[in-house]
Each structure stands twice: as structure tokens, then as C-alpha cells.
Chain A
């Protein structure tokens, strides 16, 4: 900026100086011309004086010769003054040449002086002879000589007067020409002064505008850059093409911006990493929370089941004896009455209801019975086929299409075969019951990497959402003659084997159960199992 200001100032000063120098040069020429005019005035005055002196000398000469005076002082003085002027004239003319710096003017004046020098040298020669004549006239007494010299001197005087008038006319003409030249120069100088002032003002304004534009442009660019950075966009750079202070500032600013941009990118990366970490953490917390909640629910359910089991064991133990007694007496009474006795039909209903109670008690005993597994290495596909064989002869299976997609390379599991059959049988029967009008029962097995997954899907009535959460609870049933213990027993067996059971149902479209048993290798390392419903 400093350089720009100095350069601008120097430029304006340079223009002003050049203009001033030209004006000064013109003024010098005008002064020189004025000097020439003054000298011409002086020369013309000298010519006038010389004319006066020569005429005076002629008159004195006449007076002297006519005997009016013997005093020759005035005559001598006239001629001496004339002589002095004549001697001084060439010097005066030559000073013209010193006053003129212009070569053209110099040569013009020199040419004029050359033409004048002829007249002047003529006057000089005449004046020399004139002085001799006058000297003789003053001193001689010879009348004839006086007459001769007097005529000659008078004639010379007249000739000199003529030449002087001619020279004076030439000087007057030269003075007029120089005057007109001077006046032209004055007019030109006046124009030049105004032009110089105008050019200086205009150039000053241009320089000022350029400087202001340069400064404000650079500063605005810088401010814009700062605002962009302040808005968080570190990609922008300030573009200042100057090499001044603002240019350096812009460069420093750009360097700073580049560093900020790098730091910002680093920060973004860290934030992204932190965000991912947070999301992962949240996911894990959610998973842990869900797991904890399920575990808690499972524990609550287990405790509930355990309590129910304990109670059921007590109730079934206490109920089985009276039920056996009632059954025995009922069968005894029934055998003791006739076959057409109307009571016999009622007793038959009693016997059936007692048998039903016994099944319930039996079921409770099974539910409460402490698991004693006789685990074997099993091929689940085989167990599935065997279980399906058990139900194939049922009447309701006629309307149902069974599709099996069993993995031939299914891993073997370690489980109690009777329990596994009971689980499968419960689920198959539930599916069959859900498809009273027929449907499709699909059974799929596959390896999951950590275990074996069995999918049993039907196209039955499905389970409502509100019931879906309760189906594994004991005594919860949607069937009229159900005990509400089948799925609870199924759930308990799967859990006892370290597996998981999931249910997914859409009312009106069907229900899908997925049971996952750990493979043998996984089972060895697994100490806990979780139950989960979907």
C-alpha cells in the first residue's frame, strides 16, 4: 500500500513537474523575447539618438563654419556620442544571440544581423571619414579645403542619416515580429498552464481512484474471505493479486485458513468417529437394556413358573388320590348298575371329567417335574420326520399340505429325544388346529453357524397381537378345551436345552415359530440361554 501511495504521488508529481518545466521553459522564452524587445527598444532609441546626434553634428558643423561659434565642444560631443552608440550597437545586437536559446530563432536573428551588419559597417566607414573631415574642418584655415571637406562631410552626414533611418526601420520591424511571437507564446503558455493544471487534476483523480479501488478491492476481498471463514466455510481463499501489505495480509490469512481447514477436517473426522462410537454405544446399551429387560422378564416368568410348578406339584399330588378314589368309586358304581339305567350315562360323564382332571393333574406334574434329561446326540431332521409320522394319521391332516425343507448337512444337537418330540408335537398340533379348513405346514431346518434353526410355519388363523405376548404363560389358552400348558411346557423344554424360541404371527395369515438349539460345539461353551419373543 505504501508503495502504491508513493508511486501514485510520484506519478502526479512527475506530471506536474513536466508541465511546470514546460511552462517554465515557455516563460524563459517569453522572458528572452521580452529581453529582445527591450533590447530592440534600446537599439531603436539608440538609432533615434544617433539620428539626433548626427543631425545635431551637422547643425553644429554649419554653425562652426558659418562663424556663429568657435566652440567645438558640442560638435565633438555629438560625434563622440554618435561614435559611442555606433560602437555599442553591434554589441547590443550580439547580445540578442545570447538571449535566444532556440536554435531556429538564433539563426533567424543571426541572418537579420548579417543583413544589418552591412548597413552598420557602411555607417562605420562613413563615420570614420566624417570624423576626419570634421577634424580637418575644425582645425584648418584653408578656405578651399574647408569648402571641399564641408561638402563631403555634409554629404556623408546625409547618407548616414539615410542609413540610420533604414536600420531603425529594420529594427522596428524586428521588434514588431518579436512582439507578435512573444504574444503567441504568452497565449500558448496560458493554454499550457490550464492544460497542465487540468491534466494534473485528472491524473491525480485517476491515481486516487486506482489507489482507492486497489485498497478497497483488496480489503473487501479480505473481509469477504473473513466472513466466509466465519460462516464455517474453510474451502474459500482470499484472492488479492497485489504485492503490498494487503497482499501479504491476504497470503497470511490464506495460510491461516488452510491450517484452520486442516484442523476442521481433523475435527470432523474425530466427530464422525465419536458419533459412530456413540451410536455403537447407544446400540449396545439398547441391546444390553433389552437383554436385561428380557432376562428380567424371563426371570420373572421363570420364577412365576417355578412358583406355579411348586404349587401345581402340591395340588396335583393332593388331587391325584381323591381323583383316583372318585374314579374308582365311579367305575365301581357304573359296573354295579344296569346298562339302561339313566344314571349310567351321567356316571359316564363324571368318569370322563375325572379322567380329564387327571390329565390336567398329570400335565401339572409334568410341568412341575424337575427336568431330568437323557440327552443324546440327535439328528433333528429324523426327530421331525418321526413326529410328523405320529400326526399324519389324524383326520385333520388330510386338508393340510406339509412341505419339508430340511438341510441334509444339518448339525447334530445334544437333546432329550422325548422332550424334543413333545416340543415338535405341540407345535405341529397347534398348527394343525389353527388350520381347520386346511392349509400349508412348512418345516425348514438349517444351520445358523452357532446352532440349528427349526422353522415351523402355518397358514392358519394367526394369533392376535395382544395374545402373542402371553402364549408362553401357563394356563393361557384361546382354545375351549385347552389346558393352557402346551406352549409353556414347550418353552420350558427349549430353555432347558439352552435354546431359544421365537414366534411371529399375522392374524388371518398364519404363525411362524423358530426354535434355535445350540450345536454340540456351542453347547459345550454355553452356560446360559435366553428366551425371546417377537
Chain B
């Protein structure tokens, strides 16, 4: 009887005096790597969303390549060529038309691009408007309207609407509208139309669908009036002068990413299922479109002073 009483007493005292010491060894030391691979991304949507989206990829590649992989967000579609030329970046996720322009003037090598959750690795350029404008794909009706574009070096945000109007007999694209706003990103162009800052807009379908799915009020207001041919989605290209070993390794890592759990998590952040190899030939249709617009990739300016 008494021995039991003392046992309970001892346990009470023991538990009362238990100190929860934190495990100081639970944090792993950060690994320091010597080499850095800088990959640029275009501001095709909100820059903060872009960085958030690509940060897991940078971490994954850093671990896989055992080197620092840094993501650099560019403030303009036009600056990517300068960065490649100045070798301040080692590679970038090129927009399709940006690739065509840069490839024509610099040594870059396409590696791979993401396959979206819908299984597609291409995108369409869209021309859209608010439902209340009553506008349709009729090019004549668009005359004198305000338009929100992305940038002069984007397929969906400039080339496709220009090509579309040209196909419908409009040669003076920029003079055809009462106002052209270059928003700098696809989502900004969509928002500009949504907010009434422009009557129509042009952007890629991937951003358009994502934005509309996240914002039902936008979805209710906007309507697509024209869609382009399929062009390869943003492709990771590396400078041609980089170590071939790195290029091969990076391609292998990207192409096998979907096979590992960490890789899958990284792909999820990118809204992708996997990476697929990109070939230069996949841009033939886009080059043809540029040609029909009488654009020479070798001299077409990355920046337009307006």
C-alpha cells in the first residue's frame, strides 16, 4: 500500500520537474556551394507570383546540380537579350517570340519546357474583351478601341494580335486602336481590360485561364474573341558557351524530375506535370508568323522607345 503511494508520489514529482529542452540539433547547417547558375524568368505575370512559382525549382536544381541555382526576375521582356549578351545570366525561361529573337542574335540552346497540368506544353495567344463591350472577333469592330498588350517581344501579348489583325486586313496595327497600353505582363493586360482601362486585351491562355480560375468575378466579365495557333510554352534555354556537362546534367534532371517525390512537388509549384525536351524546330510556325508580319528577328528591337 505505502510502496504504491510512494511510487505515485515519485512519478508526480518526476513529471512535474520534466523540462522540455528543445532539440538544438534539429536544424541542418546550410550547405555552401561555390558555383552559381543564374536563370532569368520573364515578368509574364505578377513578378511576385513568378518568383514564388520558380523558387522551388531553383532549390531543386541547386540540390540536383550541387551548385547555386539563382532565379533572376527580369523587369522587362526586352532585357533578356542584354542579360544573355552580357553573360549576367546563364540561361532563361524564354517566351516563344523572345526565343526566336534571341536565337537569331545569340548562342542559346533550348533545353526543356514544362508540361502543364492539362498535359499541354504549348499555349495559345488570346484576344479577349469584356462582355459588356459587345465586341467579337470582327476586326473591323475593333477599330478605334483601346487595347492592353503585354510587350512588343511577346507572342501572345503582341505578335499574335498584330498577326490576327493583319490577317483581317489591318496593316497599321498600332494606329488602328485609339490607345495601346503595354502592361509588361500578361495578367496586367487581363486586369487592365477587366478594370476597364482597355476595351480589349491580348495575353497567353495559360495566364488567362489561371487568373480567371482564381478570380471568378473576372471570369464572368471577360470573353475570348480570338485564339492563336499553338506555340511552345516558356522554354529553359542556356547560353551556348556554358559547360556542356552542366547542360546535359540540367536536361537530364529536368526530364526526370517527375519521377522523384521532390521533383513532383517542384513541378506542382510550377503547375506542371513534367518537363519535356524542346527543339528549335518547334518554333517554325512562330517564325513564319513573324515573317508574315515582316518582322526580322535579327533587327527587331527588344525595347521600343515610345
When distances are taken between beta carbons in the complex, the residues of chain A under 8 Å from B181 are 140, 142, 144-145
> Which parts of B165-194 form the interface with A (CB within 8 Å)?
181-185, 187-188, 191-192
**Bound-complex Cα distance A139 to B51 (A):** 14
B2 to A6, Cβ gap below 8 A?
yes
Partner of B75, one of A70, A142, A144, A145: A70
Q: Return the CB mask of B13-29 against A: 1 if under 8 Å, else 0.
A: 10011000000000000
A132 to B43, Cβ gap below 8 A?
no
Q: Closest residue to B305 on the A side, CB-wise?
A: A141
A138 to B184, Cβ gap below 8 A?
yes
Query: What count of chain A residues pass the 8 Å CB interface test?
Result: 28
A76 to B51, Cβ gap below 8 A?
yes
B213 contacts partner chain A, Cβ-Cβ < 8 Å: no
Q: Return the CB mask of B262-297 against A: 1 if under 8 Å, else 0.
A: 000000000000000000000000000000000000
Q: Return the CB mask of B42-66 against A: 1 if under 8 Å, else 0.
A: 0101111101000000000000000
A24 contacts partner chain B, Cβ-Cβ < 8 Å: yes
Q: Return the CB mask of B188-213 against A: 1 if under 8 Å, else 0.
A: 10011000010000000000000000
A14 contacts partner chain B, Cβ-Cβ < 8 Å: yes
**Bound-complex Cα distance A446 to B46 (A):** 163
Q: Closest residue to B43 on the A side, CB-wise?
A: A139
**Bound-complex Cα distance A72 to B43 (A):** 11
A17 contacts partner chain B, Cβ-Cβ < 8 Å: yes
B13 to A135, Cβ gap below 8 A?
no
When distances are taken between beta carbons in the complex, the residues of chain A under 8 Å from B197 are 145
Partner of B183, one of A24, A72, A136: A136
A139 to B75, Cβ gap below 8 A?
yes
**Bound-complex Cα distance A70 to B46 (A):** 17
Partner of B182, one of A76, A131, A141: A141
Known: A6-B2, A135-B188, A145-B181. A76 touches B12 (CB 8 A): no
How distant is A134 from chain B, measured CB to nearest CB, in Å? 7
A24 to B17, Cβ gap below 8 A?
yes
Known: A17-B9, A141-B182. A72 touches B75 (CB 8 A): yes
When distances are taken between beta carbons in the complex, the residues of chain A under 8 Å from B185 are 135-136, 139
**Bound-complex Cα distance A79 to B49 (A):** 12
Partner of A20, one of B6, B16, B184: B16
Partner of A24, one of B16, B49, B192: B16
Partner of A142, one of B2, B12, B13, B182: B182
**Bound-complex Cα distance A138 to B191 (A):** 15
B47 to A138, Cβ gap below 8 A?
yes
When distances are taken between beta carbons in the complex, the residues of chain B under 8 Å from A355 are none
A141 to B184, Cβ gap below 8 A?
yes
A139 to B2, Cβ gap below 8 A?
no
A20 to B75, Cβ gap below 8 A?
no
Partner of B2, one of A10, A14, A64, A140: A10
> Which parts of A120-159 form the interface with B (CB within 8 Å)?
131-132, 134-136, 138-142, 144-145
**Bound-complex Cα distance A17 to B14 (A):** 10
When distances are taken between beta carbons in the complex, the residues of chain B under 8 Å from A6 are 2
When distances are taken between beta carbons in the complex, the residues of chain A under 8 Å from B16 are 17, 20-21, 24
**Bound-complex Cα distance A134 to B184 (A):** 11
Between A20, A70, A73, A136, the greatest number of chain B beta carbons within 10 A of the residue's beta carbon is seen for A136
When distances are taken between beta carbons in the complex, the residues of chain B under 8 Å from A79 are 48
Partner of B48, one of A20, A70, A83: A83
How distant is B211 from chain A, measured CB to nearest CB, in Å? 11
> Which parts of A1-25 form the interface with B (CB within 8 Å)?
6, 10, 13-14, 17, 20-21, 24
A140 to B48, Cβ gap below 8 A?
no
A139 to B183, Cβ gap below 8 A?
yes
B306 to A141, Cβ gap below 8 A?
yes
Known: A10-B5, A145-B181. A140 touches B188 (CB 8 A): yes
Between A70, A79, A132, the greatest number of chain B beta carbons within 10 A of the residue's beta carbon is seen for A132
B182 to A140, Cβ gap below 8 A?
yes
Q: Closest residue to B46 on the A side, CB-wise?
A: A135
**Bound-complex Cα distance A141 to B183 (A):** 7
When distances are taken between beta carbons in the complex, the residues of chain B under 8 Å from A142 are 181-183
Interface size bracket, B side: 20 to 34
Known: A13-B9, A17-B13, A135-B43. A80 touches B183 (CB 8 A): no
B79 contacts partner chain A, Cβ-Cβ < 8 Å: yes
Between B17, B72, B79, B185, the greatest number of chain A beta carbons within 10 A of the residue's beta carbon is seen for B185
When distances are taken between beta carbons in the complex, the residues of chain B under 8 Å from A10 are 2, 5-6, 9
> Which parts of A86-103 form the interface with B (CB within 8 Å)?
none
Known: A21-B12, A136-B188, A138-B75. A76 touches B47 (CB 8 A): yes
B184 to A140, Cβ gap below 8 A?
yes
**Bound-complex Cα distance A531 to B301 (A):** 185
Known: A21-B16, A80-B51, A139-B76. A132 touches B183 (CB 8 A): no
> Which parts of B140-183 form the interface with A (CB within 8 Å)?
151, 181-183
Between A6, A131, A138, the greatest number of chain B beta carbons within 10 A of the residue's beta carbon is seen for A138
A80 to B48, Cβ gap below 8 A?
yes
B306 to A76, Cβ gap below 8 A?
no
Q: Return the CB mask of A68-82 against B: 1 if under 8 Å, else 0.
A: 001011001001100
When distances are taken between beta carbons in the complex, the residues of chain B under 8 Å from A141 are 76, 151, 182, 184, 304, 306
**Bound-complex Cα distance A64 to B12 (A):** 65
**Bound-complex Cα distance A79 to B304 (A):** 28
When distances are taken between beta carbons in the complex, the residues of chain B under 8 Å from A13 are 9
Q: Closest residue to A18 on the B side, CB-wise?
A: B12
> Which parts of B65-97 form the interface with A (CB within 8 Å)?
72-73, 75-76, 79
**Bound-complex Cα distance A133 to B151 (A):** 17
B9 to A139, Cβ gap below 8 A?
no
**Bound-complex Cα distance A144 to B182 (A):** 11
How distant is B194 from chain A, measured CB to nearest CB, in Å? 12
How distant is B220 from chain A, measured CB to nearest CB, in Å? 19
**Bound-complex Cα distance A24 to B17 (A):** 7
How distant is A189 from chain B, measured CB to nearest CB, in Å? 14
**Bound-complex Cα distance A72 to B47 (A):** 10
B184 to A132, Cβ gap below 8 A?
no
How distant is A150 from chain B, measured CB to nearest CB, in Å? 13
**Bound-complex Cα distance A70 to B303 (A):** 14
Known: A135-B185, A140-B181. A14 touches B51 (CB 8 A): no
**Bound-complex Cα distance A72 to B51 (A):** 12
How distant is A123 from chain B, measured CB to nearest CB, in Å? 15
When distances are taken between beta carbons in the complex, the residues of chain B under 8 Å from A136 are 183-185, 188, 191
A-B contact pairs, 29 of them (CB 8 A): A10-B9, A17-B9, A21-B12, A21-B16, A24-B16, A64-B75, A72-B47, A72-B73, A76-B47, A76-B73, A80-B48, A83-B48, A132-B46, A132-B188, A132-B191, A134-B47, A135-B45, A135-B49, A135-B187, A135-B188, A136-B184, A136-B191, A138-B184, A139-B47, A140-B183, A141-B184, A141-B304, A141-B306, A145-B197
A17-B12, A132-B46 known; 4 new pairs, CB 8 Å cut-off, are: A10-B2, A13-B9, A135-B49, A139-B76
Closest 10 CB pairs of A and B: A139-B184, A140-B184, A135-B46, A139-B43, A136-B188, A135-B47, A72-B75, A142-B181, A138-B75, A131-B48
B residues near A (Cβ < 8 Å) are: 2, 5-6, 9, 12-13, 16-17, 43, 45-49, 51, 72-73, 75-76, 79, 151, 181-185, 187-188, 191-192, 197, 304, 306
